[in-house]
Amino acid sequence: MVGINGISNLYNQYDSSRLNKNKKTENASTSEVKKSEAAKPENSEGKLSTKGKDFLNSLREKYKDYDFIVADSDNDKKALADASDKEIAVLLSSSELERMAEDDDYAKEKLSQMETAIDMAKKINEQLAEDPEFAEDAGINKITIELGDDGSMKLFAELEKSSAKQRERIEANRQKNREAEKAEAKEAEEKRIEDRRTNPYEKAAEEYRQRTTVEASSFEELIAKIKGVDWESIPFDEIKAGDRIDFAV
């Protein structure tokens, strides 16, 4: 038989074990939180010299419509570019930007390369809009240009296909004939009301889109990859209130 003291000792051992287990669980949770915080993407602007920061500010002032992102790891570059709310993003490493800040001729060369890339991206968008082989209702949502330390350039095109683009195309065609537009709009509204009555899921279908990103090192390769996108294999994403849908580059 276990005496009072024995029971007390067993209880104390159990209580101590339980506390240690809870402490380990709390430590594990804290560790996971720290890992999550550590995984948060960060830019490398803090590494820049004063001259480098001034040069970066001058770029942002001159090219206000572009998002200049300074990052050194591939994961940070991708995450920051994906989070950008501008239609054109330019990726630079901290060392590349410092070199541009120190060498005017090199900066002019890289900026010329960037501007050429942007002009070509705009032409590609126009070309695709008139290309019957390219999927209707699809367009370039965002262009990201990465200028590498070795002089290379990578192009990333985020493509989007959605009902918003479809409505944009229909509206453009309607402008050609205002009277026809009125009749068509009335007919479309009547059909929409009838479809809503017979198909309650129509609204949900209108709130979805498809997105994918293609990567290339030249414009020829970029065009080929854009045209080669298999939209049927790309899943639909729900469009949330406030999401930007803009196909102009």
Per-residue model confidence (pLDDT) at position 205: 45
Query: Strand 66-70 to strand 138-147: parallel, antiparallel, or no bridges (unpaired)?
Result: unpaired
Distance CA 179, CA 190 (A): 17
Distance CA 192, CA 234 (A): 27
Quickly list H helices, the chain: 4-38, 50-62, 74-83, 94-102, 104-129, 163-174, 178-198, 202-206, 219-227
Per the confidence metrics, is the pTM higher than 0.85? no
Collapsing DSSP to helix, strand or coil, 133 comes out as: coil
Tell me which residue of 171, 134, 149 sits closest to 94, measured CA to CA: 149
pLDDT beyond 50 at 202:
no
Q: Tokens 């402490």 label which residue?
A: 23
| Per-residue pLDDT tens over the stretch 64-82 | 999 999 999 999 999 999 9
Across the range 146-151, mean pLDDT stands at 85
Distance CA 174, CA 76 (A): 44
Query: Residues in the chain, how many?
Result: 249
The rounded mean pLDDT for the chain is: 77
CB atoms near residue 212 (< 10 Å) = 18
Per-residue model confidence (pLDDT) at position 225: 92
> Does 27 or 216 have the greater pLDDT score?
216
> Does 38 or 143 have the greater pLDDT score?
143
Confidence grade of residue 20 (pLDDT, cut at 50, 70, 90): low
| Per-residue pLDDT tens over the stretch 2-12 | 454 554 554 45
CB atoms near residue 152 (< 10 Å) = 9
Distance from the Cα of residue 192 to its chain's centroid: 33
Across the range 190-195, mean pLDDT stands at 69
- Provide the residue ranges of all domains of the chain, joining segments of one domain with +: 45-162+211-238
Residues above pLDDT 70, as percent of the chain: 63
Which tokens in the block code for residue 177?
Answer: 């004939």
Per-residue model confidence (pLDDT) at position 23: 57
